[in-house]
Amino acid sequence: MAAVLPLSGCFWLDGPQSTFDPNGPVARHQMDLFYVTCWVALVIFVVVGGVLAYATIKFRARGEADEHAEPPEQGHGNPVVEMSLIGASVLALVIIAIPTLREIWYSYEVPVEDKANAYEVTATGYQWWFKFDYPGETAQTVDAAGKTVNAPFTTANELVIPAGRPVHINLRTVDVIHSFWIPKLAGKVDMMPNRGNHLWVQADKPGYFWGQCAEFCGESHAVMRFRVIALGPREFNDWLNAQMAPARRAAAAAGTGQPKAQFAAYRTFSRNEPGTTAKFDASPLDSWRAQQLPAAEEDPALIARGRELFADKTCRTCHTIRGDGYVGVVGPELTHVGSRSTIAAGLLENNRDELHRWIHAPNEVKPGNKMWVSGYLANGIKLTPGDEDALVNYLESLK
Ligand code: CUA
pLDDT of 384 higher than 80: yes
Q: Which atom of ligand 1 is nearest to the CA of 178?
A: 1
- Segment 243-255 shows an average pLDDT of 78
- In whole angstroms, what is the distance from residue 212 CA to residue 187 CA? 11
User: Is pLDDT at 359 greater than 80 in this prediction?
Assistant: yes
pLDDT(374) > 60: yes
Contact, 343 vs 354, CB < 8 A?
yes
Helix (H, G, I), strand (E, B) or coil at 288: helix
Give per-residue pLDDT as tens, 109-153.
999 999 999 999 999 999 999 999 999 999 999 988 889 999 999
* H or E stretch at 126: strand 119-126
Q: What is the pLDDT of residue 297?
A: 83
Q: Identify the pLDDT of residue 30.
A: 94
Q: Which band of pLDDT confidence, cut at 50, 70 and 90, is reported for residue 159? A: very high
Decide: 327 and 144 in contact? Cβ < 8 Å.
no
Mean pLDDT, residues 237-255: 84
Are 191 and 125 spatial neighbours (Cβ–Cβ below 8 Å)?
A: yes
pLDDT at 257: 57
| Per-residue CA distances from 174 to 151, 224, 293, 391 (Å) | 21, 15, 33, 28
**Residues 123, 135 contacting (CB under 8 angstroms):** no
Residues 6+ apart with CB under 8 A from 158: 132, 226, 227, 228, 229, 288, 340, 341, 342, 346
- Is 173 a pocket residue for ligand 1 (Cβ < 6 Å)? no
pLDDT at 73: 79
Q: Is the CB of 215 under 6 A from ligand 1?
A: yes
pLDDT digits (tens, 9 = 90+) for 270-289: 988 999 999 999 999 999 99
Q: Cα of 108 to ligand 1 centre, how many Å?
A: 21
44-71 pLDDT tens trace: 999 999 999 999 999 888 888 888 888 8
User: What pLDDT sits at residue 116?
Assistant: 93
The string of pLDDT tens digits covering residues 83-105 is 998 999 999 999 899 999 999 99
DSSP SS3 for 150: strand
Q: How far apart are CA 252 and CA 245, in angstroms?
A: 18
55-69, 182-196, 200-214, 320-334: segment of lowest average pLDDT: 55-69
Per cent of the chain over pLDDT 90 is 79
Which residues touch 303 (CB under 8 Å, ≥6 apart)? 250, 390, 393, 394, 397
Residues linked to residue 342 through DSSP beta bridges, in sequence order = 349
153 touches 138 (CB < 8 A): yes
286-320: pLDDT as tens digits: 999 999 998 888 899 999 999 999 999 999 999 99
Which pLDDT belongs to residue 292?
94
Instruction: Please say whether the beta carbons of 193 and 177 come within 8 A.
Output: yes
For residue 140, CA distances in Å to 89, 122, 233, 311 come to 61, 19, 22, 21
Return d(Cα 160, Cα 203) in angstroms, integer.
11
H or E segment and range at residue 82: helix 79-108
Output 171 or 77, whichever has higher pLDDT.
Answer: 171
Model confidence at 264: pLDDT above 80: no
- pLDDT for 71: 80
Average pLDDT, whole number, for the chain?
91
pLDDT at residue 134 in the model: 97
Check whether 76 has a pLDDT greater than 80: no
More confident residue, 74 or 42: 42
Cβ contacts of residue 75 below 8 Å, gap of 6+? Answer: none
Phi–psi pair at 286, nearest 5 degrees: -65, -40
Nearest CA to ligand 1 atom 1: 178
Is there a contact between 238 and 291 (Cβ–Cβ < 8 Å)? Answer: no
d(CA 77, CA 80): 9
CA of 308 to the centre of ligand 1 (A): 33
pLDDT of residue 67: 82
| pLDDT for 158 | 97
DSSP letters spanning 255-282: S-SSPPSSPPP-----TT--SS-HHHHH
With a 6 Å cutoff on the Cβ, whether 125 touches ligand 1 is yes
The atom number, within ligand 1, closest to the CA of 177 reads 1
Tell me if 123 CB under 6 Å of ligand 1: no
Q: Is 265 exposed, middle or buried (0-12, 13-18, 19+ CB in 10 A)?
A: exposed
258, pLDDT greater than 70: no
Q: Give 297 or 344, the one with higher predicted confidence.
A: 344
Q: Ligand 1 center to residue 180 CA distance, Å?
A: 8
